[in-house]
Amino acid sequence: MAILVLVRHGESTANLANIFTGWLDVALSPKGETEAQQVAEKLRGFHFDVAYSSTLIRAERTLDIIVARPAWATLPVHHADALKERMYGDLQGLNKTEVALKYGQAQVDEWRRSYDVAPPNGESLQQTQARAVLYFEAEIAPQLRAGQDVLIVSHGNTLRGLRMYLEKLTPEQVVALEIVTGAVHEYQFDAQLNIVAMRNL
């Protein structure tokens, strides 16, 4: 039986400022650093064979904090563009409240939460999911099928897409799926990658 743990990075400076972040490369806030330390404590008793993160600083830093212990000094770590956050296009760098005032909250909610509607010049969740799942199936699923335990540190929308895929959620169900900063979700799989158990930590 293999274990997969999904972690959303700690709060970033852009999260704190209520800004659409997307591919903007921003650091963790002080709270985000603390959240990453809390994740590290939650995972202290786990064994991992390999770890993955996106190439954005907030995910890389969160992973660095999690694995900063002698027992994981030789843990193989891979950084992948495919695990980056959803690209928010013209909204990146803009304040979410101001965007809601300009376009209306209903439109902003559709851009943020829906499955197949993309913000202007950005990615839909469907597009984000497609690249993340392609990478998952090529690089990560073979590890799990071989019985390896895997850690992934990524972003809210990317993880929503992966969870939708793994849990076979519908587009309607994924609208309600909220993944907060520092969230930890564990799966246990059999050799065919059927979910045997899952829980939030």
Q: Strand, helix or coil at 194?
A: coil
Pairing of strands 184-189, 2-8: antiparallel
Q: Is the pLDDT of residue 73 over 90?
A: no
In the structure, what pLDDT confidence band is assigned to residue 88 with cuts at 50, 70 and 90? very high
CATH number corresponding to 2-200:
3.40.50.1240
Supply the residues annotated as catalytic.
9, 85
Closest CA to 3 of 149, 160, 141, 138: 149
If you search the block for the tokens 């073979």, which residue do you land on?
142
More confident residue, 119 or 69: 119
In the structure, what pLDDT confidence band is assigned to residue 194 with cuts at 50, 70 and 90? very high
Give domain limits for the chain. 2-200
Q: Strand 184-189's sheet: what is its strand order?
A: 77-80, 50-54, 150-154, 2-8, 184-189, 195-200
Q: Is the pLDDT of residue 23 over 90?
A: yes
If you average pLDDT over every residue of the chain, what do you get? 95
In the structure, what pLDDT confidence band is assigned to residue 107 with cuts at 50, 70 and 90? very high
